[in-house]
Amino acid sequence: MYSLKRVGDDAGDRGGMSTLLWEADGDIEFENSGRPRVGVAIRVGSIIGRTMCHQDWWQTSYITEIIEETENYIKFKTGNSVYEWRIV
């Protein structure tokens, strides 16, 4: 299980999916079970659809800086936010 929360308002999600996304040669590339790193966006949440009344996942914009990192925790910046990602 993974958790992703935006610092300040705790917006985000948690679930079994931690997928990295980035563009390479005009295509979107994916890495499942990924840890945040500079140059990628991250999507965390449910690997299956939930219901129409709840979001299935939360996705960031591209990561610009890693602020702090341990084995199960990474704090990072995107273009306009700071997030905390955890393995729970």
pLDDT in tens, 6-45: 999 999 999 999 999 999 999 999 999 999 999 999 999 9
Residues 57/46, Cβ–Cβ less than 8 Å: yes
Residues 42/21, Cβ–Cβ less than 8 Å: yes
Place of tokens 């996705």: 59
Inter-CA distances, 74 with 37, 48, 67, 71, Å: 9, 25, 8, 8
DSSP character at residue 36: P
Of all residues in the chain, the percent with pLDDT exceeding 70 is: 93
Residue 87 parent element (H or E): strand 82-87
pLDDT of residue 56: 84
Q: Under DSSP, is residue 35 helix (H, G, I), strand (E, B) or coil?
A: coil
- Give this prediction's pTM: 0.90
